[in-house]
Structure 1
Amino acid sequence: MTAFATPSPDDFMAAAPKSVSGSTPWASRYAAELRRVILEHAARAPRTLQQHLGPSELGVACDRQVVGKMAALPTTNHVADPWPSIVGTACHAWAERAFDADNMRGGLLRWVTETRVSPHPDHPGTADLYDAAEQAVVDHKFLGESSMAKVRKDPPRKYVRQLLLYGLGYWKLGLPVRRVVLAAYPRTAATLDGLYVWEHAFADEQGVIVPEALAALESTFAETAHRRALADELLAGRLRIEDVAAEPDSSECYFCPFYRPQAAKDGGAGCPGTSTQGPYALPQGGAS
């Protein structure tokens, strides 16, 4: 039997949620009560409870994370904080109202908000925005500083695949889609000056999907079929989640439901991520 080191009390506490604070002992206790209400509500949100994977998850590079979700494995990540997701959800709702209001002010239906699309028969999702004037599919991302920097340098694969899948969803509805657009908003900045837009061609003037976008979509569909097969093997007991290839990422692991850095020490359930992140990595900006 392999011997695993027992985590020290310092290690254990490092993984626990940090204490909230206040100006007095009463204020600190009250801060904890406010956080309890917010976290319990977040845990019951439809986005948290949904079982099916949408376009936003199919492009994740890590097989282990996606296969685990497909198999509905129990969550082992108890260190992630939902606050970035809560802020992102609130910002998405505000943006929806803003673009709907612009339609009313202009008297034209330029913007189509929050539309259900089915780019993949088993993985429908809700796309943020369609711009009829530009024939563009837009996805809002409200990002921290480090995530904004990554988008400016080279958008993560999962964002690009998500955009192309949403574009395919609208294309299947019969709407013209010339380009897909990632609108990255600086979630933690004091102004909107840092707003950054990234675009990718989707189809030509004849409505034919361009080769680069088509190749990425075909790759996503093939990858999804392979992951579904792995999930079926997992559910049948012929495969362990540890046998599925993992691709740890410092900005992705912290929010993965199966992330549990202590697994590297105690051999217990969960994916340890990578040792290059440190035993208890902190989020690197977050996104929604």
Structure 2
Amino acid sequence: MDPQGAALARWVAELIYQRGITASRSLAHRVGPSALGTACDRQLAYAASGTPRLNFEADPWAALVGNAIHTWQAELFRALDAGSGRFLVESTVTYRNVSGTADLYDRRERIAIDWKTTKKNKIRTIRRSGKAPQNYVTQLQTYGAGLAAGGERPERVALVWLPVDGGLGDIFAWVAPFDQAIADAAVDRLGSLRGLPPRSVAATPSRLCAWCDWYQPGGGQGCPGNGEEAR
């Protein structure tokens, strides 16, 4: 490999990494709807405690690609709305003191939509199963509850998967009735973990540990996991 080219590639990657960890979403220390659905109580306890990020190993590229697509989708629906007020785009919602940003709400169809980006193979798996990951469902239903608390009347919620390596024909939408009880259960769970030392809370290690902001396999203030994240 050309040494100069390799050096340049590393430099570009480092600058992208630094910008990724300083983006507003990355610096947010409050617990939003996207954090509520984690299967790991310890991860949620870390978020509730406001502990700063401890893991600087995770590659942010996939998240940056997802954010870029979210931005494009927001511009699309703002243009389609054209000031009519039908579409609420990237609107701040709050439910029981948990605030977040709802990607899209269509007042005519009374449906809250959250964009998800992934590879088409993952989309095919979700399409075959007909089941959405529970963490995403919790996140989405909390957005719905926030919209309802703000005076909107959501009847349905939807997760729309957009492929990063496919075409428009690979887009898949999962739709369900709005269910405030799911949001209530998630916020109750958060309340039960507030004030607890995160390390005293049971962890649920998985292959996703490496992307947790508080993953520290060598010890320290963070969570060491148990090695399952590598499987």
TM exceeding 0.5: yes
Unaligned runs of 5+ in 2: none
* Post-superposition offset of 1:276: 3.7
Larger radius of gyration: 1
Alignment equivalent of 1:181, drawn from 118, 143, 158 = 158
One of 140, 145, 148 as aligned partner of 1:171: 148
Deviation (angstroms), 1:73: 2.6
Matched, 1:233 2:211: no
Cα deviation for residue 174 of structure 1 reads 1.4
Pick aligned residue for 1:117 from 65, 88, 93:
93
Could you tell me whether the CA contact under 8 Å between 2:55 and 2:213 is conserved in 1?
yes
**Paired residues for 1:35-184 under 5 Å:** 35-104=13-82, 108-121=84-97, 123-145=98-120, 147-149=122-124, 151-152=126-127, 153=129, 154-184=131-161
How many residues align? The count is 229
User: Cα offset for 1:188?
Assistant: 2.3
Cα distance in 1 for residues equivalent to 2:209 and 2:226: 9
1:256 to partner: Cα distance: 0.5
Do the aligned partners of 2:142 and 2:180 also contact (CA within 8 Å) in 1? no
Check conservation: 1:150, 1:156, Cα contact below 8 A. Answer: no
**Contact persistence 2:104–2:112 (CA under 8 A):** yes
Q: What residue is the counterpart of 1:223 in the other structure?
A: 189
Offset of residue 215 of structure 1:
3.0
Identity %: 33
Give the structure-2-normalised TM-score.
Answer: 0.90
Report the AA paired with residue 242 of structure 1.
Answer: R
Q: Greater strand share, 1 or 2?
A: 2
For 2:223, the equivalent position in structure 1 comes to 271
Once the two structures are superposed, residues 52-104 of structure 1 have per-residue CA deviations (whole angstroms, 9 ceiling, x without a partner) of 11111112121110101221334332321011111111111100011111223
Q: Judging changes above 3 Å, is the alpha-carbon distance between structure 1 residues 277 and 52 closer, same or farther for their aligned structure 2 residues?
A: closer
Cα distance in 1 for residues equivalent to 2:169 and 2:65: 19
Structure 1 segments unaligned to the other structure (5+ residues) = 1-22, 203-212, 235-240, 282-288
Q: Match for residue 214 of structure 2?
A: 258
Distance in 1, matches of 2:91 and 2:101, equals 5
CA–CA separation in structure 2 for the residues paired with 1:70 and 1:109: 34
Q: Counterpart in 2 of 1:238?
A: none
